[in-house]
Structure 1
Amino acid sequence: MHVKLLPTPVQASALEATLHVCNRAANHASGVAFAKELKDRNGLQKAVYADLKATFGLSAQPVVRAVKKVVDAYATLNANLRAGNLGPPTTKRHRKAVSTPILFRPQAAQPFDDRCLSWQYDARTVSIWTVDGRMKGVRFACSPDQFKRLVAYRKGESDLVQRGGKWFLIATCDLPDPEPYEPVGFIGVDRGIVNLATTSDGTNHQGRRLSRYRCWQARKRPELQARRTRSATRRLARRARKERRHAADVNHRISKEIVSVAQRTGRGIAVEKLDGIRERVRLRGDQRVILSSWPFRQLGQHLAYKTRKAGVPFLEVDAAYTSQRCPRCGYTERANRPNRDRFCCRRCGLAGPADVVAGVNVRDRARAAWVFVTAPAPSP
């Protein structure tokens, strides 16, 4: 959970200096870990503990946190190498990853545990260790719901982060998941490009505004790339972050509305399983850009975690022929969908919006799947 800090200018200066020193110390520890091939936390801590305290002026617990950050970073790198996320060993990206030590940006997040960070909930302040000493009375702000979760469920480390000149503490909260209730039915959700989400109830969440925004960003991108200056590169990065935040906000609002309707009506939510869809289809060059920026996976992730948080049943069903199958008679043929928007069954004549029909098929498959999932196991 992100908690916004409201430091004074003096406090902000001390926090910034702390991040810089801690990340320089982490870079030093990373170089030692790379040179001596130290992958375990105890071995690396034994090798750099005294040096980090003497050279960088860190206290005992920040040294421990910096060492753990380095060890976790190398563990993540090794996992990505094993999974093939950095390509085969012959690629430039793979060779660079294994031939140089990991480096941390000066503003990279720094973890703090309860020994070097304490929360004063009544005063809405935190006390945090800095290179200038223990700093007390740093104010924080959050919504009433966030504050309740923070008080009841905060546990473990909190990461200090600076983003866009603003300061945040990313607090770890261990929230218990409620047990899903027995649904009286399901809401089928069909995800698409033109219509980001269409439910079996007929609710349509269009994606035209998001598509227009992405097209506008795509037109501006070549203009900045042609300048080839550092300021243009920074502006491109800011625009990319803004575009991702905009798409995430759209998906948050859509998923929140769908989950609230399901919770209010006592139903579950079902979506199509679209894994590997980008590899299965063959498109023209102009269509590939649209498909690659289609945020269907993020929408599914938002629905999954929001339903888990609300105790709403959630299922993924087979996506095969959901847009070509008639939900009334079961007749399946490509000709049932003469164009993108309309569905008309060639056998029984059922007609309607294609995305709504697909959502109904998803709903019906979820009903059958739920009966199978919740059926009691046969006795031996």
Structure 2
Amino acid sequence: MQVKLLPTPEQASALESTLRACNRAATYASQIGFAQDIKDRNGLQKEVYADLKATFGLSAQPVVRTVKKVVDAYASLKANLRAGRFGPPTSKRYRKAVSTPIVFRPEAAQPFDDRCLSWQYDARTVSIWTVDGRTKGIRFACSPDRLKTLVTCRKGESDLVRRGGKWFLVATCEIPDPHVYEPVDWIGVDRGIVNLATTSDGTNHQGRRLTRYRRWQARKRAELQRKQTRSATRRLARRRQKEQRHATHVNHRISKEIVSVAQRTGRGIAVEELGGIRERVRLRRDQRGTLSAWPFHRLGQHLAYKAKKAGVPFLEVDARHTSQRCPRCGHTERANRPDRDLFRCRRCGLAGPADVVAGVNVRDRARSAWVLVTAPASSP
């Protein structure tokens, strides 16, 4: 749960000094842990505890949270290396990742627990430990619904974040899962590039505007990259963040609409399982950028968590031949789809929009899969 902080200039200065001190300390602890090959929390804390307090001006509990941040960063790096996100072990990126210690940006997020940070919900203020002492009365702003969630569900750490010159607190909330109802039917969702999402009901969420927006951003990025100046680099970073926010907004809007329809009609949501699609398909050179920028995974994540929050059943089904199979007679052939937009069965003659037909196939597979999931185990 993210809330916006509204600090005074003096409070903002204290927060900035704290964030920079904690990240300098984290970089120092990272260097020590890398040099001595210490990646466990207790071992690293024993090695750097006194230095972080004496050299960087941190109190006991911020030292503990800083060491934990370093250990978590190395654990994430190890997981990403195993997952192949840095390429093969022979790649330049992989070798650089394993041969140098992790460095923390001066304004990277810093976690605080309840000993370092307290919330005053009635006054809508927080009290945070800083290198200048305990800073009290820092106002925060959020909607009434978010405030209610904070009061009832907040647990554990809160991260102090500075983004675009603004201050935020990201609080961890444990929200109980609602009861998932028994669906009367399913909404099949086919995800694509031209049409971001098409449902089995025939609702089409087109992606042409997003595609045009991404192409325009790509042209602007190319212009800035040719300049090769420091100001151009800063503007590139801002453009990248703006483009990500725009794509996230589009995904939120589409997923919210689909989940609301499913909840109102008592149905579940089914999508294709598209994991690893970028590795499975071979594309022409001019298609690679389009596929890499395709936000299908994020849309699936939004659908999954919004459905879970609303108590809507959610399933991922096999994606094979969903756009080539006839939902009426079951005939599957590549020629059933003569072009991108049209489906025409070569056996029974069923015709219609290809993405809608794919959504219907996803819906039918969800019906069969749900029967198997909910079927009682046979007695021996």
Partner of 2:374: 374
Runs of 4+ in 1 over 6 A off after TM superposition: none
Sort the Cα spacing of 1:364 and 1:144 in 2 relative to 1 into closer, same or farther, 3 A: same
Partner of 1:155: 155
The SS at the match of 2:28 is helix
1:194 aligns with 2:194: yes
Query: Aligned partner of 1:374: which letter?
Result: T
Partner of 1:341: 341
Give aligned-pair identity as a percent: 82
Give the Cα–Cα distance (whole angstroms) in 2 for the partners of residues 87 and 280 of structure 1. 16
Give the Cα–Cα distance (whole angstroms) in 1 for the partners of residues 194 and 219 of structure 2. 20
Cα deviation 1:69-127 (Å, max 9, x = unaligned): 11111222222333333233333222222222211111011110000100000000000
Cα deviation 1:138-160 (Å, max 9, x = unaligned): 01111122111111110001010
Deviation at residue 320 of structure 1 after TM alignment: 1.6
Sort the Cα spacing of 1:370 and 1:105 in 2 relative to 1 into closer, same or farther, 3 A: same
Partner of 1:26: 26
Partner of 1:140: 140
**TM-score (normalizing by structure 1):** 0.97
Instruction: Give matches, 1:216-295, under 5 Å.
Output: 216-295=216-295
Sort the Cα spacing of 1:93 and 1:303 in 2 relative to 1 into closer, same or farther, 3 A: same
Partner of 1:303: 303
Sort the Cα spacing of 1:194 and 1:84 in 2 relative to 1 into closer, same or farther, 3 A: closer
1:211 aligns with 2:211: yes
Query: Aligned partner of 1:356: which letter?
Result: V
Give the Cα–Cα distance (whole angstroms) in 1 for the partners of residues 16 and 241 of structure 2. 22
Give the Cα–Cα distance (whole angstroms) in 1 for the partners of residues 357 and 332 of structure 2. 12
The SS at the match of 1:73 is helix
Which consecutive unaligned segments of at least 5 residues does structure 2 have? none
Deviation at residue 187 of structure 1 after TM alignment: 0.2
Give the Cα–Cα distance (whole angstroms) in 1 for the partners of residues 296 and 41 of structure 2. 39
Query: Aligned partner of 2:184: which letter?
Result: V
CA RMSD of aligned residues (A): 1.3
Give the Cα–Cα distance (whole angstroms) in 2 for the partners of residues 12 and 139 of structure 1. 11
Sort the Cα spacing of 1:86 and 1:186 in 2 relative to 1 into closer, same or farther, 3 A: same
Sort the Cα spacing of 1:28 and 1:180 in 2 relative to 1 into closer, same or farther, 3 A: same
Deviation at residue 225 of structure 1 after TM alignment: 0.7
Partner of 2:52: 52
Instruction: Give matches, 1:301-340, under 5 Å.
Output: 301-340=301-340
Query: Aligned partner of 1:301: which letter?
Result: Q
Deviation at residue 336 of structure 1 after TM alignment: 2.1
Give the length in aligned residue pairs.
380
Give the Cα–Cα distance (whole angstroms) in 2 for the partners of residues 182 and 347 of structure 1. 35
Deviation at residue 212 of structure 1 after TM alignment: 0.4
Cα deviation 1:257-289 (Å, max 9, x = unaligned): 000000010000001111222222222221222
Sort the Cα spacing of 1:284 and 1:97 in 2 relative to 1 into closer, same or farther, 3 A: closer
Greater shift, 115-124 or 24-33, is seen at 24-33
Greater shift, 162-171 or 327-336, is seen at 327-336
Partner of 1:182: 182
**TM-score (normalizing by structure 2):** 0.97
Sort the Cα spacing of 1:293 and 1:324 in 2 relative to 1 into closer, same or farther, 3 A: same
Query: Aligned partner of 1:220: which letter?
Result: K
The SS at the match of 2:261 is helix
Deviation at residue 351 of structure 1 after TM alignment: 1.8
Give the Cα–Cα distance (whole angstroms) in 1 for the partners of residues 355 and 98 of structure 2. 47
